[in-house]
């Protein structure tokens, strides 16, 4: 168990992480959330716990926060989300998100996460508790005994063994309830068009195709579905009239799946024998409403939304959503985003290194090809992400798409790309005029580069108008091929390829040059003619400015055999011939890629560009 969060009381009655810093992102928690999860956040963020906020107060203070963690009471409306200009994530410490305007969050590029698994056991156990309580009149028995009465003869119940339990929604909670009910000796019949027949059969559950096949045969009925347009008022008067008069219904899912007026009538008219209710359309029920009358009905065992109210469940959901908030604010992936494709843990582990690779590829593109100029070589260009090998078989690539957008804009945005996530990546790309296509190539031979060395290969290809500002300076040693190119050519293509080895990421191709380097730290990339003296000159310039070389690599044209040679830093001042088949001929181009430590100023770049045969120099910080 994580250590409890340390908080301090503010003068206005709220509490905040003890190490408050105005420079750290802030997270608002307007409801009680287990301290074990909040402790995960307080090392990096300011966590403000402010209970009892009105709707207007929430709108007034939300502009200062990057994260919002709620349970079921706080209404996260479109107005709240519009006011939260800094908001990047809204987390629901639980399953249902009825209290969050998910569409408005998506429109504002805000990720909504929940904890679909944290309270499975608690919800299932509470369902069985209500089942037994309504079968044996536990609620009425307790109330009458506390009132000094002894009414044994009026409280005769029924056994649940050998009875039929009907389940609508055979998801994680529904399946858990089914297994518990079978353990009590019950027969279980279920309705779920998305359930696996094999899994149901293995669990001992009989699936039926329609509601009409389920209702007449069950002795107990429980529903475990989200509240959607298709499930709102799922059981009304016609459905309840089809049930046995001895049947009892349960609801530990969402208020509204039963029509409350119809359920009240069914109990009063004797269409069914009883109900166990944990959730209502309005919580707490409004006085005089159908929900309030149901809660007070003698045939109903009612509880105040306790389905997830166990110590263990509260710790689980808190740890779950706080871990996701932590990952999102650090630029990572959520595991249960409501408004984005669900990322399973195994997918997360597979995708995470490629997320880092593609983000670095995007940042490398902007800094190397566009020189980091805002808008230069980015807006108006067409990008293509090509996945080859094992990666081509992954259908959920939205995290990879978002990683590319984040990388492309990171060096030219005030937020450094930290505002890009899997929800708003498409919006940001559209705003910046970036068109991105994704291509899955399972037949590697058809895709150009054949994946032989790597399990997966990622290619980033860009096409668009030539940027005159990015054209390398002319050189006396210009290639004949370059001189013969038609002047009216206005479009060009640039390519970056990369791969993952273990947890390490590598660039294997940069434009026309074969390479093999780790995209990290400060890099100097020199486009030059491969001839003796270049390495010594570069080493001398950097040494003269106090810049140390940590590694160096020369990348040759991609069509040259043995195109890449790695050079130790100690050899960087050696004037010896490091040639890639060019024999010193100035028409042979190469890239010199250096990892450097120290400040690379404009004077350093200017001195490097002075040498004859150095066509261009780019500074890349990754």
Give catalytic residue positions: 254, 283, 305
Which tokens hold the place of 577? 């011939």
Which tokens hold the place of 559? 């069509």
Beta-bridged to residue 463, according to DSSP, are: 382, 493
For residue 135, the SS3 value is helix
Angle ∠(538,476,594) on CA atoms, nearest 5: 20
Q: Give the whole-angstrom CA distance, residue 402 versus residue 399.
A: 5
Q: How many CA atoms lie within 13 A of 354 on its CB side?
A: 30
- Whether 351 and 399 have beta carbons less than 8 Å apart is answered as yes
The DSSP symbol for 450 reads -
Residue 408, burial from CB neighbour count under 10 angstroms (0-12, 13-18, 19+): buried
Which tokens hold the place of 191? 């309705």
Phi and psi at residue 197, to the nearest 5°: -60, -35
How many CB atoms sit inside 10 A of residue 395's CB? 9
Q: Give the whole-angstrom CA distance, residue 321 versus residue 93.
A: 6
Say what angle helices 345-369 and 398-410 make with each other, to 10 degrees: 30
How many CB atoms sit inside 10 A of residue 487's CB? 5
Q: Give the whole-angstrom CA distance, residue 390 versus residue 379.
A: 31
Question: DSSP readout, 97-112?
Answer: -TTB-HHHHHHTT-EE
Tell me which residue has tokens 């059981």. Answer: 235
How many CB atoms sit inside 10 A of residue 61's CB? 18
Residue 492, burial from CB neighbour count under 10 angstroms (0-12, 13-18, 19+): middle
Q: Give the whole-angstrom CA distance, residue 211 versus residue 83.
A: 43
How many CB atoms sit inside 10 A of residue 234's CB? 18
Q: Give the whole-angstrom CA distance, residue 458 versus residue 385.
A: 7
- Whether 69 and 91 have beta carbons less than 8 Å apart is answered as yes
Q: Give the whole-angstrom CA distance, residue 556 versus residue 527.
A: 10
Q: Give the whole-angstrom CA distance, residue 454 versus residue 546.
A: 38
Helix intervals (H) in 63-171: 78-83, 102-107, 120-135, 138-146
CA distances from 53 to 30, 38, 62, 76, 81 (A): 7, 19, 11, 12, 15
Compute the chain's Rg from CA coordinates: 32
């Amino acid at each position: 168990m994580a250590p409890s969060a340390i908080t301090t009381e503010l003068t206005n009655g709220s509490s905040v992480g003890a190490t408050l810093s105005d420079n750290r992102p802030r997270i608002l928690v307007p409801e009680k959330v287990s301290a074990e999860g909040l402790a995960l956040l307080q090392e990096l963020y300011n966590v403000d716990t402010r209970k009892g906020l009105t709707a207007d107060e929430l709108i007034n203070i939300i502009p200062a926060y990057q994260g919002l963690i709620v349970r079921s009471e706080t209404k996260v409306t479109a107005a709240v989300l519009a006011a939260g200009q800094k908001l990047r994530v809204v987390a629901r410490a639980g399953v249902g998100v009825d209290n969050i305007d998910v569409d408005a969050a998506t429109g504002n590029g805000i990720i909504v996460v929940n904890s679909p698994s944290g309270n499975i056991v608690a919800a299932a156990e509470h369902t069985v508790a209500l089942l037994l309580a309504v079968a044996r009149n536990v609620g009425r028995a307790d109330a009458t005994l506390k009132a000094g009465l002894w009414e044994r003869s009026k409280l005769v119940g029924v056994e649940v063994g050998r009875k039929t339990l009907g389940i609508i929604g055979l998801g994680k909670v529904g399946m858990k309830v089914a297994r518990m009910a079978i353990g009590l000796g019950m027969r279980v019949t279920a309705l779920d068009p998305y359930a696996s027949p094999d899994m149901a059969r293995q669990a001992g559950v009989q699936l039926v195709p329609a509601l009409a096949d389920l209702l007449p045969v069950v002795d107990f009925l429980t529903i475990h579905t989200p509240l959607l347009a298709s499930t709102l008022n799922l059981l009304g008067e016609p459905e309840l009239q089809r049930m046995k008069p001895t049947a009892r219904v349960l609801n530990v899912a969402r208020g509204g799946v039963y029509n409350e007026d119809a359920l009240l009538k069914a109990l009063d008219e004797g269409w069914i024998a009883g109900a166990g209710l944990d959730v209502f359309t309005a919580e707490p029920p409004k006085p005089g409403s159908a929900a309030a009358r149901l809660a007070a009905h003698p045939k109903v065992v009612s509880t105040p939304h306790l389905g997830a109210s166990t110590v263990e469940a509260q710790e689980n959901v808190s740890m779950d959503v706080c871990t996701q908030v932590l990952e999102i604010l650090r630029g990572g992936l959520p595991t249960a985003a409501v408004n984005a494709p669900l990322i399973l843990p195994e997918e997360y582990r597979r995708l995470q290194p490629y997320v880092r690779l593609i983000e670095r590829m995007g940042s490398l593109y902007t800094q190397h090809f566009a020189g980091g100029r805002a808008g230069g070589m980015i807006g108006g260009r067409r990008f293509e992400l090509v996945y080859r090998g094992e990666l081509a078989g992954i259908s959920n690539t939205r995290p990879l798409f978002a990683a590319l957008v984040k990388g492309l804009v990171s060096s030219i945005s005030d937020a450094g790309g930290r505002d890009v996530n899997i929800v708003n990546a498409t919006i940001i790309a559209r705003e910046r005029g970036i068109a991105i296509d994704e291509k899955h190539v399972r037949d590697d031979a058809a895709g150009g580069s054949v994946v032989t060395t790597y399990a997966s290969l990622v290619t980033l290809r860009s096409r668009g108008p030539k940027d005159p500002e990015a054209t390398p300076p002319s050189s006396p040693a210009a290639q004949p091929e370059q001189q013969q190119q038609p002047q009216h050519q206005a479009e060009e293509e640039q390519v970056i390829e990369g791969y993952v080895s273990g947890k390490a990421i590598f660039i294997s191709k940069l434009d026309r040059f074969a390479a093999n380097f780790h995209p990290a730290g400060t890099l100097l990339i020199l486009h030059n003619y491969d001839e003796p003296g270049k390495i010594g000159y570069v080493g001398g310039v950097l040494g003269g400015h106090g810049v140390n070389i940590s590694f160096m690599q020369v990348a040759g044209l991609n069509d040259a055999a043995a195109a890449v040679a790695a050079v130790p830093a100690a050899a960087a001042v050696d004037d010896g011939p490091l040639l890639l088949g060019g024999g010193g001929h100035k028409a042979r181009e190469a890239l010199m890629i250096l990892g450097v430590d120290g400040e690379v100023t404009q004077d350093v770049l200017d001195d490097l560009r002075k040498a004859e045969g150095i066509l261009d120099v780019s500074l890349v910080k990754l």
